[in-house]
Amino acid sequence: MSFRIRMILPLIATFVAAVGYPLFYSFYLSLTSYKITQRWDSHFVGLNQYRDVFANSDYWSAMKVTGLFVVIGVFLELSLGLAIALSLQRQKRFRDFTRSFLLSPMFITPIAVGLMFRFLLNQQLGAIPTILDKVGFSYDFFGSGNALFTMIMIDTWQWTPFMVLLILAGLESLSKQPFEAARVDGAKPFYTFRRITIPMLAPILTVAILIRSLDALKVFEYVYATTRGGPGIETQTIQYFTYQTGIQYYRLGNASAMAYLLLIIVMIIVVVLFKQIEKTRRL
């Protein structure tokens, strides 16, 4: 065995044990009727689990909830993040202070954020509904029709700072000269923003959207800490649904199939987005 291969062997071994084995084992599970409660009765069922998932309307409604969560959430985070980054870039005094202050939500673990909002927004004893009530405005944050939006707001609250961080770094790495040229060329601020800032920032924005989308797709903690998927299945996201099927209802075979189906869909989206990044980079 050559030296190079021997040096890389520990990494490969760790990788196989920590990633490869669970990956293949869960794939194997997805092809069986495995249930934790009936482990002795597990047998190979081929693609039956996948067929069941495809036919499961709850799976697709969880997919829709997740889709809405990701699209609206990331859109809000991107727009707010861009606006905040642009204003922070112009800030002259107390830069370090405002920056670290604005970034602080990012440093809290998501489950804590979920719990925090659960208490803050609770209809009976939450601070915010109480205050709203005092000014004559009644709003049930976790009520039917509102819960998903509340979930999106929590995600936006926590992750907009990440967008700010990424976009601000991008903005400050842009060469200043084209902006000076645009000033001399007579471009008004909005024209400069539309024709210079956004196109120059495009590669960074794409990466930011990609990272945040993949991250938002994994949303679980907020749901677990606040609504547990309710009211009804309004906030039942794909991760939460899979977790419920696999861990709470013990149907690991079925849950594995769900996870793999999600993996395939996500891979397709990632490939498409990466192609997009490649394209903007070549320009």
Burial class (CB in 10 A: 0-12, 13-18, 19+), 223: buried
Q: Give the shortest CB-271-to-another protein separation in angstroms.
A: 24
Examine residue 110 and say whether the peptide bond preceding it is cis (omega within 30 degrees of 0). Answer: no
Nearer to another protein, 31 or 201 (CB): 201
Nearer to another protein, 174 or 211 (CB): 174
> Cβ distance 216 to 272 under 8 Å?
no
Q: How far is CA 260 from the centre of its chain?
A: 18
- Residue labelled with tokens 């869960």: 26
Rounded CA-CA distance 80/57 in Å is: 34
Nearer to another protein, 54 or 191 (CB): 191
**Contacts with another protein, residue ranges (CB under 8 A):** 175, 177-178, 180-188, 191, 195-196, 199-200, 202, 283
Q: Give the shortest CB-174-to-another protein separation in angstroms.
A: 10
- 252-282 and 21-30 helices, crossing angle to 10°: 120
Q: Give the shortest CB-212-to-another protein separation in angstroms.
A: 23
DSSP bridge pairs for 32? 44
Q: Give the shortest CB-186-to-another protein separation in angstroms.
A: 4
Collect all residues with Cβ–Cβ distance below 8 Å to 102 and sequence separation of at least 6: 84, 88, 161, 164
Q: Give the shortest CB-276-to-another protein separation in angstroms.
A: 15
Nearer to another protein, 80 or 277 (CB): 277
> Cβ distance 65 to 234 under 8 Å?
yes
Q: Give the shortest CB-166-to-another protein separation in angstroms.
A: 19
Nearer to another protein, 58 or 185 (CB): 185
Nearer to another protein, 53 or 182 (CB): 182
